[in-house]
Amino acid sequence: MSSACSSGAPALCGAPWIPAAILDDPMECSRGERLSITLAKNRINRAPERLGKAKVEVDIFELLRDSEYETAETMCQILPKGVVAVLGPSSSPASSSIISNICGEKEVPHFKVAPEEFIKFQFQRFTTLNLHPSNTDISVAVAGVLNFFNCTTACLICAKAECLLNLEKLLRQFLISKDTLSVRMLDDTRDPTPLLKEIRDDKTATIIIHANASMSHTILLKAAELGMVSAYYTYIFTNLEFSLQRMDSLMDDRVNILGFSIFNQSHAFFQEFAQSLNQSWQENCDHVPFTGPALSSALLFDAVYAVVTAVQELNRSQEIGVKPLSCGSAQIWQHGTSLMNYLRMVELEGLTGHIEFNSKGQRSNYALKILQFTRNGFRQIGQWHVADGLSMDSRLYASNISDSLFNTTLVVTTILENPYLMLKGNHQEMEGNDRYEGFCVDMLKELAEILRFNYKIRLVGDGVYGVPEANGTWTGMVGELIARKADLAVAGLTITAEREKVIDFSKPFMTLGISILYRVHMGRKPGYFSFLDPFSPGVWLFMLLAYLAVSCVLFLVARLTPYEWYSPHPCAQGRCNLLVNQYSLGNSLWFPVGGFMQQGSTIAPRALSTRCVSGVWWAFTLIIISSYTANLAAFLTVQRMDVPIESVDDLADQTAIEYGTIHGGSSMTFFQNSRYQTYQRMWNYMYSKQPSVFVKSTEEGIARVLNSNYAFLLESTMNEYYRQRDCNLTQIGGLLDTKGYGIGMPVGSVFRDEFDLAILQLQENNRLEILKRKWWEGGKCPKEEDHRAKGLKEQLRHSERSEQCPQPQVCPLITCSLRLDSSSKIHTYDICFASVDICPPWTVKKNSNAGTVSYLFLYLGDEHYHLTSVFEERMNHEGRKKEGRKQASKQATISRTSRLVPLPMSVASQRGTLTPQLVA
């Protein structure tokens, strides 16, 4: 380097060399750019082994933002000083473009640290390097995050029109995937409130904001004022400095805010750098503007190091010197091209991560950290690398959702419906959730205990579950979820396809179907002439004719036979020839009456012919009286049930009995949308019937069933509940469909998976079945046993005597084993099965297994085949068992045609447990 030192041009041997920094925001209380350059210079100069005897001196020039004339003037002041590079500015795109052009003409390296805000030119100056990540990379990273969260609908808020060009890759992905991306532009007033209201009305849950950090923060504050900063919205900010904004006013644990960062906090100098900036702000400013180093200050720091590294490498291969340049001449810096080549080969770890450039002068081989807002600030949940793409830590994201539920108060909308939610008897004396009781209240307590959240129960305003209106809005609980007025809808809310389009549902916590509820038709009360009911009028008429005929025959036969004529004074025989006949017309009529009434009479037949007539009459009366007695006892002691309909087809084929559903419920929607012909006819009837056959509540429907000729179409669970509490109600036919009750949530709820797992846990622990028994059982009416169950029961008992019926079919079977002590003689249990069709034949095999008794009993009672029956079996097989054997085993195998699915099984026995087993 001696020759260079002796030459006229100053060489980088021992004299200071100067990169120039142009700052458009040099205030100490702003971004801290001046301080960052000073820190970089001092740190480099304290390590002389890197540059030998040379030192770094940075000239700092200030200019007004986007002032083209002042920018050109400043560059004309910088060039004569003989600088080796120009750094900045950080927030003036127009000024940066002018500086890039001038540096290109003079072949002086220029470092950009500002984000791109204009369309990319086909030709970019060779001397320009951009340390700021490109908008293309940010666009691809945002697209990757949306794809990770399976987001198909989003809204993009742009502060400037150029954002559509900057985020071209993001727009292309939505076009390719045919997902929905709505773009909204801030107007000249820069007030985002009207725009946010439109987004809220559109029910868009994912919002992408492409603006500077200050405007992004303003948009978020306005969203908080509109109630849009909650768990049901996801905000993705493209600005790399957004995580530095103060979020004290947005400390909602449930808010889902995602952003990107490029800071390398593991750098050895990062903490010292951040502390120096923070100390400077505290000493010289009224407030600390950022929670950490500004991105532009860190990029300027890295730019100084990149220049130093390149100059050091270039100085090892050749002696270079700086040369004063002028705006008025065509001279260029002869070492500029060489320095640019070395700058493009620079690889180092800076405050903003890995620093490396591609052939176009853009930053490459770096990673964007993906940050998520938590109660303790932002934390990293993944990263996007230029080469490797997106890498997310799902555990951290899921734990944030779970943590956000902790001690969070959720608003629960519901509706008064027995037994799901009811007011306590003394609810006037209570407040809040304590006023309510029921199945849903108990289930909420169980879920809150598992997920550790609080809740506030609020009754829905209009008292309906939710149906769509003509204008597209929804009523009831569904409408409140759509409007984000509630976090959960916990009630007998049916999961339907139409509702699933506008809200989210948890996994079903109860399975059911639509059923028909009708009143029990009882026979009329006994009247004064009810004794005539055992026989029809025709029987009574023929009995009267038979009585008259027998009386006449008896009178005539008695007159003709000489043996019925006798002397009334047998002692005066011979002196008196008077003969009499006891079967006068009156006696002939009276004698059958005495026999009919089984009281007899003083008249006794004397002749064989009259005795034959009397015997025939007595035999006739014996049969008649026996039949009458039996029928009369049945009529007087048994209330015969007369059901005019037996199935849904019978109901649809008649008009005498009205039928309807709850207005606005899922049952009404089922008939409205059904394509089955019978159900379509029923819907047309219900829709056109006047006065309306729809009811507002279940209680109104039950009252209408009991007080009029009306059949109520409702869920089978409610049917079962009310039938157990009113013996005048019965279920007609089977289930019309199969569906489930679920917990409703707004679309995009981050709590959905957590509630799904909690419901599955309650089902596995049998807690939901226990709660159902608690609120459904205990009615005053015994459970009904269908006539099919009786027939099957008799056939099953009869089949125990046979080994196998002909032509068996291959069907699955279920065996239930009940282990008993040897002293157990009576065992009682309940079995529940899904809807099945039993197909004969069935096989009954007798096997011996000491200590175990196996039974299979199918009771097809209720229409949804919730098979509940109590069977009492006394073990009286000792005579057929060998001596020493204490117990016997019976196993019944039932063949069937349809798929057999076991439902939750309830078992009650004196000793032992019932174990179900499915055998293919």
Give per-residue burial for 230-262: e unless 16+ CB within 10 Å, then b.
Answer: bbbbbbbbbbbbbbbbebeebebebbbbbbbbb
Mean pLDDT of 674-680: 91
Residue of 5 and 254 predicted with greater confidence: 254
Options 3.40.50.1820, 3.30.1370.100, 3.40.50.720, 3.40.190.10; CATH for 407-511+746-775 is 3.40.190.10
Give CA–CA dist 915/815, Å, rounded. Answer: 8
Q: Range with the lowest mean pLDDT among 373-387, 526-540, 786-800, 836-850?
A: 836-850
Pairing of strands 256-261, 234-237: parallel
Residues of the chain with pLDDT > 70, as a percent, come to: 76
DSSP 3-state assignment of 275?
A: helix
Q: Range with the lowest mean pLDDT among 49-63, 98-112, 330-344?
A: 49-63
Confidence at residue 317, expressed as pLDDT on a 0 to 100 scale: 82
Residue 632 carries which DSSP code? H
The residue whose two tokens read 């100084």 is 304
| Structural tokens at position 382 | 């993944």
Q: Report the Cα–Cα distance between both ends of the chain, in Å, rounded.
A: 91
For residue 741, pLDDT over 90 is answered with: yes
Q: How many residues does the chain have?
A: 920
Confidence at residue 12, expressed as pLDDT on a 0 to 100 scale: 52
To which H or E segment does residue 713 belong? Answer: strand 710-715
Q: Where are the domains of the chain?
A: 2-133+270-365, 153-259+369-400, 407-511+746-775, 518-522+643-737, 530-637, 783-920
Mean pLDDT of 242-257: 72
Residue 56 carries which DSSP code? B
Arithmetic mean of pLDDT over the chain:
78
pLDDT digits (tens, 9 = 90+) for 494-553: 998 889 988 999 999 999 899 999 988 665 666 777 788 888 899 999 999 999 999 999
CATH architecture of 530-637: Orthogonal Bundle (1.10)
Confirm if 672 and 467 have CB atoms less than 8 A apart: no
To which H or E segment does residue 589 belong? Answer: helix 585-596
| Structural tokens at position 455 | 């809740």
For residue 426, pLDDT over 80 is answered with: yes
For residue 342, pLDDT over 70 is answered with: yes
Strand partners, 421: 417
pLDDT digits (tens, 9 = 90+) for 30-47: 778 888 888 888 888 887
Q: How sure is the predictor about 808, in pLDDT bands with cuts at 50, 70 and 90?
A: very low
Identical topology for domains 518-522+643-737 and 530-637: no
Confidence at residue 252, expressed as pLDDT on a 0 to 100 scale: 59
Confidence at residue 886, expressed as pLDDT on a 0 to 100 scale: 37
Confidence at residue 253, expressed as pLDDT on a 0 to 100 scale: 54
For residue 609, pLDDT over 50 is answered with: yes
- Reduced 3-state DSSP string for 391-459: EECHHHHHHHHHHHHCCCEEEEEECCECCCEEECCCHHHCCHHHHEECHHHHHHHHHHHHHCCEEEEEE
For residue 404, pLDDT over 60 is answered with: yes
Options 3.20.20.100, 3.40.50.2300, 3.90.850.10, 3.40.50.300; CATH for 2-133+270-365 is 3.40.50.2300
Confirm if 789 and 861 have CB atoms less than 8 A apart: yes
Residues making up the binding site: 494, 499, 666-667, 715
Q: Range with the lowest mean pLDDT among 3-12, 193-202, 494-503, 528-537?
A: 3-12
Give CA–CA dist 343/112, Å, rounded. Answer: 13
Options 3.90.320.10, 3.40.50.2300, 3.90.550.10, 3.40.50.2000; CATH for 153-259+369-400 is 3.40.50.2300
Q: How sure is the predictor about 92, in pLDDT bands with cuts at 50, 70 and 90?
A: confident
Give CA–CA dist 445/467, Å, rounded. Answer: 28
Confirm if 19 and 85 have CB atoms less than 8 A apart: yes
Residue of 527 and 458 predicted with greater confidence: 458
pLDDT digits (tens, 9 = 90+) for 288-324: 777 788 898 999 999 999 998 898 888 888 877 788 8
To which H or E segment does residue 110 belong? Answer: strand 110-112
Give per-residue burial for 513-538: e unless 16+ CB within 10 Å, then b.
Answer: bbbbbbbbeeeeeeeeeeeebbbeee
CB neighbours (10 Å) of residue 606?
17
* pTM of the entire predicted model: 0.62
pLDDT digits (tens, 9 = 90+) for 632-670: 877 766 555 556 788 899 899 988 899 999 987 888 988
Mean pLDDT of 110-139: 80
Q: Range with the lowest mean pLDDT among 253-257, 603-607, 781-785?
A: 781-785
Confidence at residue 563, expressed as pLDDT on a 0 to 100 scale: 86
For residue 792, pLDDT over 60 is answered with: no
The residue whose two tokens read 């002590």 is 821
CATH class for the domain made up of 518-522+643-737: alpha beta
Residues making up the binding site for L-glutamate: 494, 499, 666-667, 715
Confirm if 111 and 357 have CB atoms less than 8 A apart: no
Give CA–CA dist 382/614, Å, rounded. Answer: 108
